[in-house]
Amino acid sequence: MSAIDNKQLKAAQAEAATATDTYTHVFKKPFTYEDKTYEQLTLDFGSLTGRDFMAIDREVREREGRVPIVPVYDTSFLMRMVCRASKEKIDYDTIVAAPFAEFNAIRDKARSFLLRTEM
């Protein structure tokens, strides 16, 4: 791991230590994709099961033709996890179309949850 990777890992672990099972992301301005507008996204990571993990793993394998080796650092895996945890039932194509900064904030919350489950 490079120095940057270690710094990112330590920051993610610190956030993971205080992470909760639910998170509501409020978009800075309403996000519209395919005629549907989102003002916020409510995620219930605590509702996910082992079946969800296996289904996400399978989705990445089938749709992207690769194995998610380290899910906690696999953005595609994390965002598919976000889709399954979302109360709004957001789909993958929609979440990856979110504004860059919003996407990163949401991804980081998913990563923090996953890191916390590994601690």
Give the model confidence (pLDDT) of 43-57 as tens digits.
999 999 999 999 999
**How many domains in the chain?**
1
How far is it, in rounded angstroms, from Cα 37 to Cα 14? 33
The overall average pLDDT reported for the chain is 91
What is the C-alpha to C-alpha distance for residues 51 and 18, in angstroms, rounded to an integer? Answer: 25
pLDDT at 7 (0 to 100): 74
Q: What is the domain extent for residue 42? A: 3-118
* Cα–Cα distance, 20 to 25 (Å, whole number): 13
Look at residues 1, 7, 23 and name the one whose alpha carbon lies nearest to residue 78. 23
Q: What angle do CA 116, 103, 87 make, to 5 degrees?
A: 70
d(CA 34, CA 53): 28
